[in-house]
Copies of this chain bind each other. A is one copy, B any other.
Amino acid sequence: MKDVKNQLWDYVLLVREKSPLVENITNYVVMNNTANALLAIGASPIMAHCKDEIEELVKISSSVVVNMGTLDAAWIESMILAGETANKNSKRWVLDPVGVGASKLRNNTASQLLALNPSVVRGNASEILSAAKYDIVSKGVDSLSPSEAAIEAAVILQGQTNGVVCISGADDYLVDTSRLAKLSNGNPLMTKVTGLGCTATAITGAFIAVSEDTLLATAAAVSVLNIAAEVAITKSSGPGSLQMNLLDALYNLSKDDFLSLLKIEIQTL
């Protein structure tokens, strides 16, 4: 794993060096935080959603982030156009299907966006199960652990999008055509800060702009966030200070901390 770990660190350096321009159509709740997280890792965020300018902005960007958090009709049109434009211009893009499963609107929107084959789909287990339309009952999930079911769903979804699928949780799992990666960094207090999943998605946008290996780029993004949270938590007294210290830790993340804290396992499928 030493080579893989160094590979991921190289991506961290590449983001800092190349400062990729990342176009974000994301939700109102997290815009400030995800823009700040992108700046902290060295990327350059654009936060813009109007259909009239999406094509131009996607074309000048290195990659695109689409996050379904605070949906409405106009934004959905822009999200679809962003995915289509990214595809036409060979830009990679990441989809965060926030809340899919909670409403027909979210299910339909996720279906439309997934049909555009996002380079990466990142969500929690519930979202990945919903996005994959994984039928827990007929699959006999009683005999599977929750994470086994989610991984099965991720593999199905991966087969549909042909990209990377990332399940966030206490451990994070990533699948592509041939590999399953397990990442084991982070801290439970992260679930008490709104939108850190969205931040993982946004950072993934920056990393897939600097590497052809989408699974490893996503692994780097998720690990950077989780390791920064581990560093930040030592200085934090609760979710408020964690949110703030996390940005400092992302900005100051050192090679030593990254390599010594990183927990990654990769197996061939």
Residues of A within 8 A of B (CB): 27-33, 35-36, 39-40, 45-50, 52-53, 56-57, 60, 69-74, 99, 102-106, 191-195, 236-241, 243-252
Contact, CB under 8 Å: B70 / A47 = yes
Q: Point out the residue from B35, B71, B246, B252 that lies within 8 Å of A194, measured CB to CB.
A: B35
Q: Which residue of B lies closest to A35 (CB)?
A: B194
Residues of B within 8 A of A237 (CB): 245, 248, 252
Q: Which residue of B lies closest to A33 (CB)?
A: B32
Contact, CB under 8 Å: A72 / B74 = yes
Contact, CB under 8 Å: B27 / A47 = yes
Contact, CB under 8 Å: A39 / B245 = no
Q: Which residue of B lies closest to A31 (CB)?
A: B29
Residues of B within 8 A of A33 (CB): 32
Count copies of this chain in the complex.
3
Cα-based distance from A247 to B46 in the complex (angstroms):
24
Q: Which residue of B lies closest to A54 (CB)?
A: B103
Cα-based distance from A56 to B104 in the complex (angstroms):
8
Contact, CB under 8 Å: A194 / B32 = yes
Q: A36-B193, A56-B104 are in contact. Are A99 and B48 (CB under 8 A)?
A: yes
Q: Point out the residue from B40, B105, B240 that lies within 8 Å of A245, measured CB to CB.
A: B240
Contact, CB under 8 Å: A32 / B30 = yes
By CB atoms of chain B within 10 A, which of A27, A240, A246 has the most? A240
Residues of B within 8 A of A32 (CB): 29-30, 32-33, 194-195
State how many angstroms separate the Cβ of A157 from the closest Cβ of chain B.
22
State how many angstroms separate the Cβ of A163 from the closest Cβ of chain B.
26
Cα-based distance from A46 to B69 in the complex (angstroms):
9
Residues of B within 8 A of A69 (CB): 47-48
Residues of B within 8 A of A50 (CB): 70-73, 105
Q: Which residue of B lies closest to A236 (CB)?
A: B248
Contact, CB under 8 Å: B238 / A248 = yes
Cα-based distance from A103 to B45 in the complex (angstroms):
15
14 residue pairs A–B, Cβ–Cβ below 8 Å: A28-B31, A29-B35, A46-B102, A47-B69, A47-B70, A48-B99, A49-B72, A52-B103, A56-B102, A238-B248, A238-B252, A239-B251, A241-B245, A244-B244
Cα-based distance from A238 to B253 in the complex (angstroms):
11
Q: Which residue of B lies closest to A192 (CB)?
A: B39
State how many angstroms separate the Cβ of A74 from the closest Cβ of chain B.
7
Residues of B within 8 A of A74 (CB): 72
Cα-based distance from A243 to B36 in the complex (angstroms):
10
Q: A192-B40, A193-B39 are in contact. Are A249 and B243 (CB under 8 A)?
A: no
Residues of B within 8 A of A243 (CB): 36, 240, 244, 247
